[in-house]
Amino acid sequence: MPTSAPFGTTTAGTEVQLFTLTNANGVKASITNYGGTLTSLLVPDKAGKLGDVILGFDNVSGYQSPEYLKAGPYFGALIGRYGNRIKGGKFTLDGKAYTLATNNGPNTLHGGKVGFDKVVWQAEPGTSAEGQTLKLTYLSRDGEEGYPGNLNVTVVYTLTADNALKIDYTATTDKATVLNLTNHAYFNLNHDAGRDILGHQVTLPADRYTVVDATLIPTGELRPVRGTPFDFTMPHAIGERIAQVPGGYDHNWVLNGATGPYAAATVYEPETGRILEVTTDEPGIQLYTGNFLDGTLTGKGGTVYGKNAGFCLETQHFPDSPNQPTFPSTVLKPGDTFHSVSVYKFGVRK
């Protein structure tokens, strides 16, 4: 069974816990029920040495500090109701207009001002045939952050015997709503977040990406990656062409797979030999390269998180889908069940 330990008290006075899942290889994944946040992940390098490859903090106060809330990096958190951006904080569903809380310039980002990353989830540690588990549940009430419907969400983290962290999402609603769930972990396979991730080599099996405007809202165009710095169909170091992308990578790639689960990303760090392989049944993946980290946040072990200290691979439906009728639908209706699985598997190349 997973172990648990106190992780501090929220500003609202709620005590939260840290749950640690372990497998026979010594790999450990620690998750707090505050925001369903993945706080650390210990995986081996090519010499067999375990190292923490996740950016985060040692207790819940780090995730609630004024500096953190101002920066808004969403370290390791579960994201909802709607991952990524919705233009103008508005959408229309079944002929009714909805207005959301805006928290990213004119747009709504990652669920609004109090998204799933800032609530306390009900936690139930357990085991399955695949490994140790943590089941998290949350009821997002009708009208929360402007979204319609009472939404029941269940997320199950599983640490498998083959060093994979599986994230299984399920949701139901009593009123038509929009939904886009993901996890916002920042990875650094160096196990030294004082170093940047520009040398990590990324492969994305995606022939197109969603072009965005100045506020990172999709224009609707799905542009071929070929001949651009967005082409990761063959491995490229993150830093190889990042200077050609204004602001750095913070874009959604359109995955080539037709039905899941299918390969979504591979990342290789040459010095440690660590490899991260992502599979999903979602149609897109957001590669974000920590462009807005600026050294104002100090995390675990006193590590200062500067620009490009970590990268995110957020499996998802496309940004602003509620306002883009040609994108895959994110509508969830009563009587239907949303279900999606993403897996982050770790290995080494010697």
CB 43 within 8 A of CB 28: no
183 annotated ligand-binding residue = no
223 annotated ligand-binding residue = no
84 annotated ligand-binding residue = yes
For the question of residue 184 being annotated catalytic, the response is yes
Instruction: Read off the tokens for 211.
Output: 């072009």
97 annotated ligand-binding residue = no
Catalytic residue (one of 145, 269, 282, 314): 314
**Which amino acid belongs to residue 198?**
L
Tell me if residue 302 falls in helix, strand or coil: helix
Q: Which residues have CB under 8 Å from 136's CB, separation 6+? A: 31, 33, 36, 78, 121, 122, 123, 124, 154, 155, 156, 157
Q: 2 vs 134, 135, 280, 345, CA distance in Å?
A: 8, 11, 25, 19
Cβ burial of 149 (10 Å; 0-12, 13-18, 19+) is buried
* Measured distance CA(139)–CA(334) in Å, rounded: 15
250 annotated ligand-binding residue = yes
Peptide bond into 261 cis (omega under 30): yes
Catalytic residue (one of 110, 184, 236, 251): 184
For the question of residue 200 being annotated catalytic, the response is no
* Measured distance CA(140)–CA(128) in Å, rounded: 27
Q: Could you tell me which residues are annotated as the binding site?
A: 84-85, 184-186, 250
Query: Annotated active-site positions, please?
Result: 184, 314
Q: Could you tell me which residues are annotated as the binding site for beta-D-galactose?
A: 84-85, 184-186, 250
